[in-house]
């Protein structure tokens, strides 16, 4: 997104950091966040279906864990992905199975398709620079409305294995959006949209989810490819007329050599 909630967050969002994809340390925060999410989901399901805790107690426990986690870990990745808040919310709001009418099933399918389509269009627009100008507040409000409608009309509970896969996939996609932010067009060089773009993965039906995942991954892979290819072209101009191409050595070689000789003489070293 091209706008943020306040000026301070806007400054933080606009400072896109170019990560080194060859370093292992680039991926350690991603691994840590996904492991914490998987552990949180497993503990919540254990409390609900094995220990049989009361639902208000589960809400308090999960909220406490999310709050403490957000206080201790405040990396760019954690903040952009919303820490563990959305993951816990997805688990708590999708555990009430009930008999579902045909109307509710169709309504949920339509809601999921609309949500996934809007997010896919936003992803394509964010990497291409062609999109509808809309504030982050309006986009977030629309996403919250669709998420609330999905939860209200949904009739089936999400199992532990499916939720684990969704949680891990959600944070991996958020990481992809954040790491690729420096390659995006200048108006969109921000990681603030990661939470908004990847949120449907935790809620919508399996087929719209797969479509959204393919769009997000494909769009950002293409973004990386085009950016790297463009930078290679910019870094390798035609050097036939350059001084080093004619002499076989850099144009400023003599100046550097003179400085080196002067430094040696100043330290009493033989030239």
DSSP letters along 168-230, please?
Answer: HHHHHHHHHHHHTGGGS-GGG--STTHHHHHGGGGTS-HHHHHHHHHHHHHHHHHHHHHHHHH
Flag whether pLDDT at 44 surpasses 90. yes
Going by C-alpha positions, the residue among 46, 74, 71, 81 that lies closest to residue 61 is 46
pLDDT at 262: 56
Q: What is the pLDDT of residue 257?
A: 65
pLDDT of residue 58: 94
The pLDDT, as a whole number, for residue 204 is 93
What phi and psi values does residue 192 have, to the nearest 5 degrees? -70, -20
Instruction: Give the least confident one: 16-20, 141-145, 170-174, 178-182.
Output: 16-20
* 3-state secondary structure (DSSP) of residue 256: helix
Q: Which of 79, 78, 41 is nearest to 62 (CA)?
A: 41
Tell whether the model's pLDDT for residue 53 goes beyond 80: yes
Question: Residue 231: its pLDDT value, please?
Answer: 76
Give the DSSP H/E element, type plus range, for residue 65: helix 55-72
Residue 249 maps to a domain: no
**Mean pLDDT computed over 176-194:** 70
Question: Residue 128: inside a domain, yes or no?
Answer: yes
* pLDDT for 106 beyond 60: yes
Asked whether residue 79 is domain-assigned, the answer is: yes
Worst-scoring range by mean pLDDT, 13-27, 64-78, 176-190, 226-240?
Answer: 13-27
In a domain, 250, yes or no: no
Q: How far apart are CA 216 and CA 221, in angstroms?
A: 9
The pLDDT value recorded for residue 178 is 87
Residue reference for tokens 């943020």: 4
Q: Are 142 and 119 in contact (CB under 8 A)?
A: no
**What pLDDT, on the 0 to 100 scale, is given for residue 238?**
54
Percent of the chain with pLDDT over 70: 75
What residue numbers bound the domain in which 158 lies?
7-233
Residue 8 pLDDT more than 50? no
pLDDT of amino acid 41: 96
The whole-model pTM stands at: 0.77
- Do residues 242 and 251 lie in contact, with contact meaning Cβ atoms separated by under 8 Å? yes
In a domain, 209, yes or no: yes
Residue 237 above 70 pLDDT?
no
Does an H or E element contain 127, and which?
helix 102-128
Q: Could you give the angle at which helices 28-45 and 85-92 cross, rounded to 10 degrees?
A: 30
Question: Residue 261: inside a domain, yes or no?
Answer: no
Would 1 be classed as within a structural domain? no
CB 76 within 8 A of CB 17: yes
CB 69, CB 43: distance < 8 Å: no
Q: Tell me, what's the pLDDT at 19?
A: 61
Tell me the average pLDDT of the chain: 80
The reported pLDDT for the residue numbered 55 is 92
pLDDT at 190: 45
Is residue 188 domain-resident? Answer: yes
**How many domains, the chain?**
1
């Amino acid at each position: 997104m091209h706008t943020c909630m306040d000026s301070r967050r806007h400054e933080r969002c606009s400072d896109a950091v170019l990560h080194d994809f060859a370093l292992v340390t680039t991926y350690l925060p991603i691994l840590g966040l996904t492991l914490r999410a998987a552990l949180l989901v497993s503990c919540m399901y254990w409390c609900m279906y094995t220990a049989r805790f009361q639902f208000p107690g589960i809400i308090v426990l999960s909220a406490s864990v999310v709050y403490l986690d957000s206080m201790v870990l405040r990396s760019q990745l954690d903040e952009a992905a919303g820490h563990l808040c959305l993951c816990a919310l997805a688990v708590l709001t999708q555990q009430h199975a009930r008999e579902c009418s045909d109307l509710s099933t169709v309504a949920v399918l339509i809601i999921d398709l609309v949500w996934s389509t809007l997010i896919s269009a936003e992803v394509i627009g964010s990497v291409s620079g062609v999109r509808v100008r809309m504030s982050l507040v309006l986009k977030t409000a629309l996403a919250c409305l669709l998420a609330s409608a999905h939860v209200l009309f949904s009739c089936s509970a999400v199992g532990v294995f499916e939720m684990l896969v969704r949680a891990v996939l959600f944070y991996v996609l958020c990481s992809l959006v954040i790491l690729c932010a420096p390659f995006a067009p200048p108006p969109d060089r921000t990681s603030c949209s990661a939470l908004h773009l990847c949120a449907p993965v935790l809620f919508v039906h399996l087929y719209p989810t797969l479509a959204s995942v393919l769009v997000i991954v494909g769009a950002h892979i293409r973004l990386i490819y085009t950016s790297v290819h463009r930078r290679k072209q910019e870094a390798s101009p035609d050097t036939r007329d350059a001084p080093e191409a004619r002499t076989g050595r850099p144009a400023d070689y003599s100046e550097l050599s003179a400085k080196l000789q002067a430094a040696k003489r100043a330290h009493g070293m033989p030239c």
